[in-house]
Amino acid sequence: MSGNLLVYGSYGYIGALVARTAVDRGLSPVLAGRRAERVEEQALELGVDYRVFTLDHPDIVRRHVAAFDAVLNCAGPFSQTAEPLRRACLDEGTDYLDLAGEVDVLEATAELDRDAEQAEISLLPGVGFDIVPTDCLAAHLESRLPSATSLTLALDGLGTFSPGTLKSILEELPQSGVVRESGELRTVPAAWRTRRFDFGGGAKTGVTVPWGDVSAAYYTTGIENIEVYATVPEFAVGAMRRTRPLVSVLATKPAQRVLKGVVDAVVTGPTAQERAQSVNHVLGAVEDDEGNRAAARLKTPDTYDFAAQSAVESARRVLDDEVSAGFQTPASAFGSEFVLSFDGVEREDVDDLDTVVPVA
């Protein structure tokens, strides 16, 4: 492998898993973050080099980024960290990857496609669990039904959360939900639509969520109508709808500061044992204007274990010049089979479509 890699946000929960996975797989990443003591301690433990800098001063960010062939951003919330690192990478000709799953962040990255082509760099967001499995499943389904005009994705088993993930969720409160209709993004209320999904063990209730594929799958497949769901207990649907009026209050800066402070104080992320016991299921279905349909299921390991594997492998391929310049999604960069290259991932096409995605 040629090139050198900077991992920013390396001592956060997912960043630490990524850094450890990279070293275990023979890479020598340079670790970076804003807290000197934490990144120095981590670098010493892993036997790698490190840098200490914030993202507050563009000149300093550019100077650090310029020394590397690729930057992997693991520092959430990405609404705050993606823009300064993306811009520095564009200015210095450095490839950029991140673990973002926020629709707004993905859209902002997609808008830089022409700039990235001119700079001859790759912009590759969403290389973690957000959004590699769902993006690859969307690409697989589009290949089975190229005439598809609508895509439905559903997730089950998202039971482990890191501090960074929860902070990103909090920041998305003002945009309670989002879907894509006729190629355009549409903001919708929390639990806007409810459907039943069979992930292989009986029907479960899912509600619409602002998952990154509302953005990414559109660029991957060209399908203009996309909805993403996540399963919730039956009683939670009514609760989510009743609390819609509170969203605007929870989205204010004072409330955000308090909520994020609580996250920092009480959330540490799942243990290795909890991750080992966690399994995720993804269901996807496409349909065209003639009523033809196709569906498939994915089974994956824990969110964070998968994310560490997929992020490191994505970075390795970028460093090996396997990704074209411009904005890319994981599936546009690596193909629909990329997700199957990781341990513990299984995919099956589904024939009995009426029981998989019943009408609400």
pLDDT tens-digit readout, 276-324: 677 899 999 999 999 999 999 999 999 999 999 999 999 999 999 999 9
Amino acid in the structure at residue 171: E
Q: Are residues 93 and 136 in the same domain?
A: no
Residues 310 and 324 in one domain: yes
User: Minimal CA–CA distance to 71: which of 53, 89, 50, 44?
Assistant: 89
- Asked if residue 352 and residue 212 are part of one domain, the reply reads yes
Q: Sheet harboring 70-73: ordered strands across?
A: 50-52, 30-33, 5-8, 70-73, 95-98, 122-124, 326-327
Instruction: Give the per-residue pLDDT at 170.
Output: 43
Q: Are residues 171 and 267 in the same domain?
A: yes
For residue range 3-62, list pLDDT tens digits in order.
699 999 999 999 999 999 999 999 999 999 999 999 999 999 999 999 999 999 999 999
Of the candidate ranges 34-38, 198-202, 270-274, the one whose mean pLDDT is the lowest: 270-274
Gap between the Cα atoms of 274 and 304, Å rounded:
11
Whole-model pTM: value is 0.87
Question: Does residue 265 have a pLDDT over 80?
Answer: no
Contacts of range 37-43, beta carbons closer than 8 Å, 24 or more positions apart: 38/11, 39/10, 39/11, 41/11, 42/10, 42/11, 42/16
Closest CA to 147 of 43, 294, 2, 277: 294
Please check whether residues 226 and 243 belong to one and the same domain: yes
Q: Please tell me the distance from the alpha carbon of residue 307 to that of residue 303, in angstroms, as a whole number.
A: 6
Q: Is the CB of residue 275 less than 8 Å from the CB of residue 305?
A: yes
pLDDT, tens only, 137-189 = 999 999 999 999 999 999 997 655 545 554 444 445 455 689 999 999 999 98
The count of domains in the chain is 2
Alpha-carbon torsion, ordered 153, 16, 344, 214, to 10 deg: 10
**Same domain, residue pair 18 and 166:** no
In terms of domains, do 141 and 253 share one?
yes
- What's the pLDDT at 301? 92
Give me the domain span that covers residue 313: 5-128+305-334
Judgement on whether residues 310 and 299 belong to the same structural domain of the protein: no
With CA atoms as reference, report the closest residue to 285 among 274, 297, 272: 297
Report the distance separating Cα 48 and Cα 46, nearest Å.
6
Average pLDDT over the chain, rounded to whole?
87
